[in-house]
Amino acid sequence: MALAVDHCVERISHFNPFPSVEARTRVMSLPEKQITNKPMKTIKLHSIKLRAGRLCTVLCVGVAAGLSSAAAKADVVTDWNQTTLNTLAAVGQRRTPPSGRLLAMVHSAMHDSINAIDRRFNGYAVNIQANPSASPEAATAAAAHAVLLNQIPSQQANLDAAYVASLAAIPDGASKTDGISIGESVAAVILGLRSNDGSSVTLPYTQAPGPGVFEPVPPATAVFVAWGQVTPFTLRSGSQFRAEGPPALTSADYTRDFNEVKSLGAANSTTRTEDQTDAARFWDENAQIGWNSIARIVSAQQGLDLWENARFFALINLAGADASIAVFDTKYTYNFWRPKAAIHAADTDGNPDTVADPSWTSLLSDVAHPDYVSQHTAYSAAVAKVMSSFFGTDDISFSFATSTAPGGVARSYHSFSQTVEEISGARVWAGIHFRTACKDAQNQGRQVGHWVFHKFLEPVKQRNSRLLPHHRDAARQECPGSTTPWRNRKGAK
């Protein structure tokens, strides 16, 4: 009879759970006397306080030799991606920072759960050697369900219904039971890591008013003032990729930005084209909704398997979540006014080439946080960078429609970067951002995306992550001096 060997996974972290890429999960064997020939039915989670304020999270699991898991369907990851977005919509939570946080939690839990059964990539929070006969579908669904139920308990009925539907297609038995145990326990690790991440902290906005300074328009109050201080999922801090700052009010760059948005972003603009107006409205949907829709479309086009899907969605949502943290660190460092306020008060900015218009209104409504940098653009750039790195090419075509698309008409794109460029322009055409806020957001987002892709969830040694043949040459270009694509760099040739 095959033996089941108990293993523990120990994760040591400071307040920022990932202060460096070297802070990795390590796997340790327990003493030989604890070897048992009984299959392990449950997984126990322990938290042990260590000196210097560190927390050691230990996950003990049963590992049994046996047949490799059956080929898994990729739709369990995308199903729970859609369920997560539906759940957020049901409670009226569409704002990108908290929604992005939850998506990152759900997808990192799903990734680490399925990866425990057949370890193809480095784990995000845990690397466990679990029963290889456990059901990957059950583990994935259990992880997502556990995270969502913990974070949005008011939606238990809908979440339970989705969970039952996921499990119904899996035959009852030890494989299913073990998969559920793995998923629930990995979810507990993710929830533990995020339990004190600062996401529930609120701070008042106390910036003194003046030329160039963001001021919320009553009755609105500034939102997400403390979000830049939330513990990042992958970054060392929210300020790691802080943007360099908006242009001076009397500079040529500011003058150009001011006059561009004043002309193109006005509600009654005569210089904005019909297509630009459509694009501005099309991208009024929150960033995390649109980009996860794109991800599901591209995933299906490229035929990703379950493990690839788990990694793909975890990477894009980790990048999106950390891009939002980086953005709000930047926003509330510079506190730069938005176009509407700037145009109304241009006679106070000291620039003779900007003319005030107190009656000016933007095409779309302002939001209650500073202009610099554009959150939608930075989030988009981060996710797009991960996507192009994952597939080894930027040139992937797709069509889709957002929930705010005029007439429900889809738009078509030939690359991820083209999509980001349109989003960047759309914020100007909407009248809600200056061009520099979008340009610098692209740069910030790309830095976050590059960081996430090249430092997290890498293929493990002696294994190759599948790379689509026609993408190999493009992927090699991202790895200077190497013949190994980034996506495969950790694997054997």
Mean pLDDT for the stretch of residues 375-389: 99
Q: Is 91 left (phi over 0), alpha (psi -120 to 50) or beta?
A: alpha
Residues 128 and 259 in one domain: no
Task: Label each residue of 270-316 as H, E or C.
Answer: CCCCHHHHHHHHHCCCCHHHHHHHHHHHHHHHHCCCHHHHHHHHHHH
How far is CA 168 from each of CA 117, 141, 155, 161, 306, rounded to the nearest angstrom? 20, 11, 20, 10, 18
Q: Is residue 50 in a domain? A: no
Residues 77 and 174 in one domain: yes
Q: Is the dihedral of CA 459, 460, 461, 464 positive or negative?
A: negative
Residues 276 and 400 in one domain: yes
- Which pair of structure tokens corresponds to residue 332? 């509330």
Q: Of 460, 74, 92, 89, whose CA–CA distance to 303 is shortest?
A: 74
Q: Is residue 482 in a domain? A: no
pLDDT of 454 reads 98
Confidence band of 127 (pLDDT split at 50, 70, 90): confident
In angstroms, the CA 186 to CA 197 distance is 18
Q: How many percent of the chain have pLDDT more than 70?
A: 78
Q: Is residue 475 in a domain? A: no
pLDDT of 32 reads 29
Query: Cβ neighbours of residue 258 under 8 Å, at least 6 residues apart?
Result: 339, 342, 343, 346, 351, 354, 434
Query: Cβ neighbours of residue 188 under 8 Å, at least 6 residues apart?
Result: 45, 146
User: Containing domain of residue 358, as a range?
Assistant: 217-459
In angstroms, the CA 262 to CA 388 distance is 34
In angstroms, the CA 173 to CA 170 distance is 9
pLDDT of 476 reads 34
Residues 262 and 398 in one domain: yes
Residues 181 and 270 in one domain: no
Mean pLDDT for the stretch of residues 43-58: 30
Q: Domain count of the chain?
A: 2
Which CATH number do you get for residue 80? 1.20.144.10
Task: Tell me the per-residue pLDDT of 88-118, one tens digit each, with 9 for 90 and over.
Answer: 999 998 899 999 999 999 999 999 999 999 9
pLDDT of 69 reads 29
Residues 155 and 241 in one domain: no
Confidence band of 462 (pLDDT split at 50, 70, 90): low
Q: Is residue 485 in a domain? A: no
Greatest CA span in the chain, whole angstroms?
85
Task: Tell me the per-residue pLDDT of 137-177, one tens digit each, with 9 for 90 and over.
Answer: 999 999 999 999 999 999 999 999 999 999 999 999 999 99
Mean pLDDT for the stretch of residues 75-99: 95
463, pLDDT greater than 70: no
Residues 304 and 445 in one domain: yes
Which one-letter DSSP state was computed for residue 175? H
Contact predicate 310/111, CB 8 Å: yes
Residues 174 and 231 in one domain: no
Residues 365 and 232 in one domain: yes
Backbone dihedral angles phi then psi of residue 220, each to the nearest 5 degrees? -70, 150
Mean pLDDT for the stretch of residues 438-459: 99
Instruction: Please state the pTM of the whole predicted model.
Output: 0.82
262, pLDDT greater than 80: yes
Which one-letter DSSP state was computed for residue 234? S
Backbone dihedral angles phi then psi of residue 398, each to the nearest 5 degrees? -160, 160
In angstroms, the CA 209 to CA 216 distance is 10
Between 227 and 462, name the one with better pLDDT: 227
Average pLDDT, rounded, for the chain: 83
| Helix extents (H) in 393-434 | 416-429
pLDDT of 490 reads 31
Query: Cβ neighbours of residue 152 under 8 Å, at least 6 residues apart?
Result: 87, 88, 91, 93, 102, 159
Between 491 and 304, name the one with better pLDDT: 304
Mean pLDDT for the stretch of residues 50-75: 33
Q: Is the dihedral of CA 127, 133, 134, 136 positive or negative?
A: positive
Task: Tell me the per-residue pLDDT of 169-223, one tens digit each, with 9 for 90 and over.
Answer: 999 999 999 999 999 999 999 999 999 999 999 999 999 999 999 999 889 999 9
Task: Label each residue of 105-140 as H, E or C.
Answer: HHHHHHHHHHHHHCCCECCCCCCCCCCCCCCHHHHH
Peptide linkage before 373 cis (omega within 30 of 0): yes
Residues 164 and 234 in one domain: no
58, pLDDT greater than 50: no
Q: Is residue 90 in a domain? A: yes
Query: Cβ neighbours of residue 275 under 8 Å, at least 6 residues apart?
Result: none
Q: How far apart are the first and last CA of the chain?
A: 35
Residues 298 and 433 in one domain: yes
265, pLDDT greater than 60: yes
pLDDT of 149 reads 99
Confidence band of 130 (pLDDT split at 50, 70, 90): very high
Residues 435 and 291 in one domain: yes
pLDDT of 22 reads 32
Task: Tell me the per-residue pLDDT of 294-335, one tens digit each, with 9 for 90 and over.
Answer: 999 999 999 999 999 999 999 999 999 999 999 999 999 999
439, pLDDT greater than 50: yes
Q: Of 423, 447, 418, whose CA–CA distance to 437 is shortest?
A: 423
Which residue is associated with the tokens 């910036």?
207
Q: Is residue 355 in a domain? A: yes
243, pLDDT greater than 70: yes
313 CB burial (10 A radius; 0-12, 13-18, 19+): buried
Which residue is associated with the tokens 């939608």?
376
In angstroms, the CA 382 to CA 320 distance is 6
The string of DSSP letters for 42-90 reads --EEEEEE-GGG-EEEEEEEEEE--PPPPPPPTHHHHHHHHHHHHHHHH
Which CATH number do you get for residue 374? 1.10.606.20
Q: Is residue 46 in a domain? A: no
Q: Is residue 139 in a domain? A: yes
Task: Tell me the per-residue pLDDT of 36-50, one tens digit each, with 9 for 90 and over.
Answer: 223 333 333 333 222
Mean pLDDT for the stretch of residues 330-351: 99
